[in-house]
């Protein structure tokens, strides 16, 4: 069947993972470290609130409940130290059914340009590519590798590419590498967006999961980079979710906020094409956004798991403590080969980095995938299970490294330059 413009859509990484693992039996009890699905307990007070089913008989307003918008506004003020009037919760906050549908739909309000581009970090969250194709633009994948500190190099984008840019996706902390875009980076990106007339869609769903070294200065938001008197025409939307922050991935609840004009434009589209958020879910979500204690407890659990990972891996396989998020991004030389070996030798599922990125062509016309050497390891399981799984993973990778070929020439060249 002809899928039209979506023929260019990259296949699901998890579909591809199932395909390669189906070729062999697991080498032990199955343990999944592939999916970024938190297993920490959800807040009891939220689960209790979900027992109140009042509200399912009526269509919710697309703008959401006032109590939901107020709770989200309160969290934004506490978390990012913005003033009470920096944004208007009645006109600049919209509830979402998780952030994915919002990220997809928001790209459709970007300025339309001839031979338009949507700029996407490489590797990337796959919905960004779908959003680009739906908006009738060409996805342009920007390398986000070790040589660029795992964020796109804004200076490597040409004048022509900026001119054609309709929309720029960014995830900070980054999925999968955990890199954080600092205020200087975000301010520079925002200046580019104003100058070249494109919008920035900033996925901040990992903003509450960060290493303890960032406790005094947590990952910033683009909201902090815009003075209050410039918020009306600020060309960006930021997206937040309860899935990672509060271990409520099944609730499918998030929100977005941004400049006044762009949020009005997004509201107009959502009033016609966007799904409303169930009223009981909004009431429960408001309670979650209003509480920070469970978030700090949740973050501490992830920090403990990174302590365990650091003790087990040390300097092996390019281990580093990510600034944010809950993934390890390990250099194994060949992500697909290593993933197959890990599965067949230990029963552990990880995700090949190659499945999260698109190939690019180097100057000598060889093909290079900036994530091909890496595997993504999700530290989402309970601490004891994570400890045992990481020890098995290290053993499996060590046996793989002993018999595997050296990294490709392209990978070696890039990492050599990055270390200089």
Asked whether residue 130 falls in the same domain as residue 229, the answer is: yes
CA–CA gap between residue 363 and residue 355 (Å, rounded) = 23
Domain-located, residue 45: no
Confidence class of residue 405 from pLDDT cuts 50, 70 and 90?
Answer: low
Interval 195-210 mean pLDDT: 98
Q: Which two tokens stand for residue 103?
A: 């990220």
Q: Which of 31-35, 76-80, 369-373, 415-419 is predicted with the least confidence, judged by mean pLDDT? A: 415-419
In a domain, 261, yes or no: yes
| Percent of all residues in the chain with a pLDDT value above 90, rounded to a whole number | 89
Same domain, 329 and 413: yes
Q: Cα torsion at 199, 173, 229, 267 (round to 10°)?
A: 50
Is residue 163 domain-shared with residue 256, that is, in the same domain? yes
* Block residue for tokens 């969290």: 75
321 and 414 fall within a common domain: yes
Q: Is residue 46 part of a domain?
A: no
Boundary (domain end) residue, out of 242, 263, 291 = 291
pLDDT of 3 reads: 63
397 and 329 fall within a common domain: yes
In a shared domain, residues 79 and 201: yes
Residues 281 and 342 in one domain: no
Percentage of residues of the chain with pLDDT beyond 70: 95
Picking from 233, 267, 291, the residue at the C-terminal end of a domain is: 291
294 secondary structure, DSSP code: H
Q: How many Å apart are CA 399 and CA 391, to the nearest integer?
A: 13
* CATH number for position 132: 3.40.640.10
Give a yes or no: residue 118 inside a domain: yes
pLDDT of residue 334 exceeding 60, the answer is: yes
pLDDT at 72 over 90: yes
Q: Do 278 and 300 fall into the same domain?
A: no
Flag whether 213 is in a domain. yes
Q: Which phi-psi region, left, alpha or beta, contains residue 149 (left: φ > 0; alpha: ψ -120 to 50)?
A: left
Distance, in Å, from the CA atom of 329 to the CA atom of 299, rounded to the nearest integer, reads 19
Residue with tokens 């062509």: 361
Among 255, 271, 291, identify where a domain stops. 291
Domain membership of residue 42 (yes or no) is no
Confidence at 417, pLDDT banded by 50, 70, 90: very low
The tens digit of pLDDT for each residue in 285-319 reads 999 999 999 999 999 999 999 999 999 999 999 99
- The total number of structural domains in the chain stands at 2
How far apart CA 207 and CA 271 sit, in angstroms, is: 28
Q: Please state the pTM of the whole predicted model.
A: 0.93
Q: Residues 186, 309: one domain?
A: no
Same-domain check for residues 225 and 165: yes
CA distance 37 to 409: 35
Let me know: does 17 contact 351? Beta carbons within 8 Å.
yes
Instruction: Give me the domain span that covers residue 30.
Output: 10-36+294-419
User: Domain for residue 47, yes or no?
Assistant: no
b (16+ CB within 10 A) / e for 73-89 = bebbeebbebeeebbeb
Question: What pLDDT shows up at residue 362?
Answer: 72
Q: Do residues 252 and 330 share a domain? A: no
**Among 167, 178, 124, 165, which residue's Cα sits nearest to residue 369?**
124
Instruction: Tell me the C-alpha distance between 222 and 2, whole Å.
Output: 39
Predicted confidence band of residue 415 (pLDDT cuts 50, 70, 90): very low
User: Cα–Cα distance between 122 and 36 in angstroms, integer?
Assistant: 18
Tell me, yes or no, whether 325 and 223 share the same domain: no
pLDDT of residue 374: 98
In a domain, residue 49? The reply is no
Q: What is the CATH number of the domain that holds 326?
A: 3.90.1150.10
Return the number of other C-beta atoms located less than 10 Å from residue 157's C-beta: 18
């Amino acid at each position: 069947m002809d899928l039209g413009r979506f023929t260019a859509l990259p296949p699901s990484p998890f579909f591809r993972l199932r395909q390669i693992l189906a070729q062999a039996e697991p080498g032990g009890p199955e343990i999944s470290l592939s999916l970024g699905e938190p297993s920490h307990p959800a807040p009891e007070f939220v689960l209790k609130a979900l027992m109140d089913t009042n509200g399912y008989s009526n269509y919710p307003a697309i703008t959401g409940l006032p109590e939901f918008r107020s709770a989200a506004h309160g969290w934004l003020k506490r978390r990012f130290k913005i003033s009470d009037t920096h944004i208007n919760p009645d006109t600049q906050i919209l509830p979402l059914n998780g952030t994915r549908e919002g990220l997809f739909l928001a790209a459709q309000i970007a300025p339309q340009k001839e031979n338009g581009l949507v700029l996407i970090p490489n590797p990337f969250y796959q919905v960004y590519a779908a959003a680009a194709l739906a908006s009738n633009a060409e996805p342009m994948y920007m390398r986000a590798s070790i040589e660029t500190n795992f964020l796109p190099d804004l200076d490597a984008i040409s004048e022509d590419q900026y001119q054609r840019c309709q929309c720029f996706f960014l995830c900070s902390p980054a999925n999968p590498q955990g890199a954080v875009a600092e205020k200087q980076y975000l301010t520079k990106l925002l200046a580019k967006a104003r100058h070249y007339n494109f919008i920035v869609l900033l996925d901040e769903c990992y903003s509450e999961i960060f290493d303890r070294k960032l406790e005094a200065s947590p990952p910033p938001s683009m909201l902090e980079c815009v003075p209050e008197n410039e918020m009306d025409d600020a060309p960006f939307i930021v997206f937040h979710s309860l899935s990672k922050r509060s271990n409520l991935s099944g609730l499918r609840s998030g929100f977005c906020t941004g400049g006044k004009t762009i949020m009005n434009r997004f509201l107009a589209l959502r009033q016609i094409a966007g799904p409303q958020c169930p009223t009981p879910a909004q009431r429960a979500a408001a309670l979650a956004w209003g509480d920070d204690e469970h978030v700090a407890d949740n973050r501490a659990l992830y920090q403990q798991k990174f302590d365990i990972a650091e003790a087990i891996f040390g300097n092996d396989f390019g281990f580093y403590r990510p600034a944010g998020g809950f993934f390890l991004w390990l250099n194994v030389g060949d992500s697909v080969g290593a993933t197959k070996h890990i599965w067949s030798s230990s029963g552990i599922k990880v995700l090949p980095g190659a499945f999260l990125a698109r190939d690019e062509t180097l100057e000598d016309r060889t093909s290079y995938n900036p994530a091909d050497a890496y595997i993504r390891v999700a530290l989402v399981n309970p601490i004891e299970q994570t400890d045992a799984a990481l020890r098995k993973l290290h053993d499996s990778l060590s046996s793989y490294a002993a018999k595997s070929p050296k990294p490709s020439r392209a990978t070696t060249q890039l990492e050599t330059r990055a270390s200089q």
